Structure 1
């Protein structure tokens, strides 16, 4: 059974890879030749289809072309002798692993575990003869048993699904034969005349009440089936429809459709099979549409006929597979758009010479693909050290990961463990990244590693915001962990480490520092069996850390004082982050440790001196808590948190005690509010925890069981009298179900010891089924984010928890709704008026497209619409559309477009008009991602004629900057952007006694973007009450001051149009000033022009 399953699996994998190759060749040919003829493209994809069906047969008879690729994962089990040979050949004979020579235990960090000294059972790392017998048996036996069961199970599942699909196909053929038997031959002249004129022979036209739309069935004896209503059609409509169906017969489309269904039955798991089935059907319909238009000569009339026929689909009727019906709900809209594209030439029937030419080209391509044979390179004798310029063929591009591990003195670490991970962005805004360990690299006695991986396994991210990236993690006994990400440094200013996927890397590991702490309850009792895990790890240097420790608070500030000072991101202490780099190490690298009976835990081999480890504590009836730990002995200091959960936290030394607050679970049921049916597999997570000023969404979460039950642990207990929206808030994410994402505040009930019972009832929503395309081309936009907000006046708003409480969300930060590969999306909405917004993954589109036609955006305050239940800033979206959903529907169709606009080439110059390179900033696209612009010919894309594109750029050193607006004019092709030295705003703050106000916070805000406000980094007044605020030129500023518990404005509409110094004078501030008041200076501002000097 195993051998048969293995052979079947190898055949399926072989055909899958080769069919992908055929599809890629066909796709490249179509794109390179810019084919728009549906007939021609249909023939090309038909060749791919029949080639895919023929591949298993051709492979058996054609001579092979060897392609070297590792097949170990589906190979037969190895004997202990085989394992020994493989392990011996995996590294040069003179470079045995240090564990083999010295008898040292192997240092391992498992995916579910962390730092620790354990004996490795990985035969790729340690020679098996060094392992105990039991361990060797486990290493060689269990993996094979698991693989055997897995392979057999996969083949059984494949066979069951294929059998079901074949049965469905046979039922469809039988159903077609029954339709033909029950149909009546039509002899009317109105039908026979177009049949005779077409020249198609051997076809009959029949009518039946069993179908709602015209369709073609059969190949050897084809028949066109008309619904009973055909007699009421006009002559023009009847002629067009019969011409369409006869074109199917002439083109042998039924045969191709049958082959597509058969191919899908066999390769149902393969995306190419899905694509061919749908694409060939669409192309066949387009070609037959063109043939019908050629007969009638009326595009508009034919489009109307097609729409009338499509409207009959809602009436039911039988569906025959693989019959060819004239209209399908899924493609009518796109077909009508194609028909009405008067600039598109009609496809022509291909002469036999063209068809023969395609066959002659396709035959050797299919034969070559079939002849490819994967060969395991380990079965071929090779030199111990192959030459650098060797170029073995491969089915997939390979990525080479190589480097050396040293200690801080430069000595090789042969005991190092090097692992490679693939990380992905979480589904939840504040949740941990999803990590998968790709492999463990072999390290020789010189601390060197060199191994290749498939490029698909290790993605190269362009930016830290990308959905997936690769991470290299290095550790060793007695040393700290280090890691680096595989990112392109040129595209992100925040990534400074070398890209290990592109170059040889050298990693130096510092000696590890032990973290030891004790966890206590608020009553001072030890907390035993608490779970301690890693949240994230940061590294820094001594000088920046010393400076940061000097600035950090030595005593915690009251929470109300911190809230009073927080303006647009917090005061300077909070704005000064820990001066380190997040190593982005997967949390699974550290195996969680448990506290002992005294509440004590220790962590070794994780951090080096001055590293920052953010730890997470979880336990029974205690709050899920994070702690910032600096790997040095010191008293606690206080500053801005590096997590998303709090703004202000303590930074402990490596030896500390910490009290965890008590917690009680929250539990209940999630169900439909009307039917009371439980909703299973729904995520319920913490959105906001009491005492937290920022979202914790997804950090603590639970999934409902079959009965709809959930349980959340680790939340703090809000005291009585807690204000609304300040307590614990849960978020419900019913992905895949027709319900809205909903946030609910948990009432403060219970005796603070028993679980809080909190049931959640959701009202069923409407599903918006839509598609997002590029306006100019009709191409789908893949991976776009979708958002929805109803109007406040919508009478249905009060029926849904999501909007009933009147709370307002700022849309644009988080979503779980994306367009698929065809640009399609499903989005839950409610009946009545609302707005759907889409944001493309790239910013190459006009921002706010569609907003001019939407009432909600006609009058805004700072870009915010007050007419919607949630805030939507028009410029944050690339497509906006207003909808009005009937109350009685369950689905609502919507089509959205994004406009790619125009592009301008950009030149950056300095104050002396000399060209600038390596500029960074935002404005070349419509998103606000800060980028390094390292090309010699930058281009601004997605611009709207007469529209405003806010932009902000600086040079590499930050000495030159500008804040500007790009506003393209008709016919404009290029724009020059000049950078200047920053301007400076000065002044002095004193109290009513003329004493200087020390440490007041100043915030400079601007509205370079007319739809939203932006802010510069905050500053503080010095010991004399003076301030000196450097800001980019090119816009107007408003200056606000926070002192004590007051906030006032000291300047507005302060224009910094060029490099200058604006001395505002002296401001007398009273502690009695009303919040938001404007305080005037003692004199008029003094403006001094600052000369531009050459920047080197």
Structure 2
């Protein structure tokens, strides 16, 4: 009997340790996939449950480096042994006694063990047998407790339930068909039900409060029923009982308790996704329905069961936060990629037991580390450096040949437009030749047919820190598509369809994101398909444009990402390739272009859009024929009160022809417009020099503004070797130009007018700022920090910190340059655990110039935290808290604009935490119940933000802590 108990104890210990390993794997992978569909994470956590019931069948050796000072060792044959933990920097590995007995005693694979006296069997009952007996008693006690609770709940429901009314049953039957269920479940009402839930042994039945028909509105009740039907369709009741069974066996194991809790959380999120993917309601409406049911449950007599729509209060906040996250896509079921990935992981993980062994250090490891350090930039940047890129299939991990790799470098003296192209060989490898000059940013764009295109991005100063080699997985693309029709429902062929999708991405060194810019054309049936999209997308980041010469169209230009004219279909329809887009004919504008004598001008270009930059090759919207006549189709004239108030037209047409000056015509409606007369063009000449009078070649001469319109003419170029530029066919009036080249201070909004004399434009050297960032107490360099460059308007308002001027830095030093003289500039340094530091205002050439040193000392600081209290003084969960240093606008009880100010949510106890801030700020807490606003001075006196109810006076506010003169502000009051 003792021997049996000993073996049982060994098995329980071994299985418990293996469950720990699988738990850590599931937790880590779930964290990585925290932004993915909940179906992924639910399947991963089920692996922990399955591991509890799967005995070890295959032993897998795990070689690791042992510590430099080894643990006490003894020959395996000399002493009885027990497993010990081998700990080192790379992780912590556990051994079991059963695993240790299988390790061979040789020079290369030894297990570190501690010598211990053999147990004397005469001294009472062995401790393992005692523990095994205690475990059996615990299992029995826990099982009886759970069984009693289940029986009691079942009896209470059985006695209090009654069949639901006919309208509810009919609605349930309709929603069941939506989910593809053959037979709808039984539906009961019960006075014991505080909120809707599912109860039963396998699929379960739905229980509703007796006053369910009075709760919320009809759409809310539909979403609640759909949530509970999702539990039934997924057999969650049976899985819940399986969880209880495993919990009874591992009642002592805290990680099993935690895994069960995560399974329940992700299960509810899966049902939430099923509801939202069915398009029954928006995320906000559905969240309001959950909160309504949770509020009602407070008055119910039944505690929230595991399969209730609202469930436990502390879990609701996380679910609402997940559903209200921008760019979220919801799936009805786990993708095939998720199922196969988890199944493959189960085949490897479940039957496997890890056995920790040691390995000798490779004699080349130190050399390899040194090589990596050099490649990472710990020294000086050298010419001829290379980056080896290996591309593999994300699912099979097999190398992918024929992958196109575009390399783009950015930095001082580097031509950003010089994009180099490489391709992977049969082993999926390509060696990329990096820039001879140190790049501050490196972009690699891998693309291959039927795979999702990526952008792999490094940045840093004084140059980007790159590895010697990197392996990048490409994911198989999911096709999307649809059909384009006209207003009469007829298919339109030849429609240009363009998709733009830049995902948020992950990581910092490198940052990797899906990077999709794809085009196609509709066929004779109006159908289109693009095979480049990932299976899961951030919906708000996707742009789909439709262009056809006979219809109202999107007109996409380089560097400009407009909002599509035609609203996108649901992504479910796009992935099912059933999306329908109806294009409108719109109005047309007809006219004639003539010279000063009335002679028609053929070949004149008609543009209604900005031309953007001089290098853009944008085709005109129309061209005049031999009679000088033109016709622009697909124009929509919409009323615009703002334009009418300022006497402006809704459409401006720029007319240009070789040898003639351009003309700008305002058009208010479709039809025939008066003839457009073009006069002879003028010539605008200039020369660009540096401060020593030497010519500057390759300066971008960029047309900015003419007659109140920006970038309308495309009259730009680059200076030649003599620094000269000559622009023909210019108008007689002023055009404002920008002059820009890397390594020089730009000149902006310089008005130029045609004439016989050259205009001399002088480019100055940029203002350079460099320095070190150190800890104010230890005087040691701070390794990782963020450098922000901002505009100081000098009128009392807070600096503006554009995102594209933010750079991640390393090594405790920085160097940056300012190449715009129009504004004053400030620098800001942020590092985790420190108070930010801001520089003085730098004024290029007024008087700052040359090279300026700015030493930065950062003082340690803790994040500041506080509590948001509701209208009755209770801690308020799920309130949005904005740290507003610049403008925050509120409208309709929500923040409609907050200029990138930091935002967080309160937890279940109403607490929030935000990074320390050196700027004056306002804290703004927003909740459906009300709003709270305090300045940093008021927050220093009390860290409690008390909500005030919404009123007509506070539903629309402009909050600016440091306003500019004359700027309207509602808070803080002057």
Smaller-chain TM-score bracket: 0.3 to 0.5
TM-score, normalising length from structure 2? Answer: 0.42
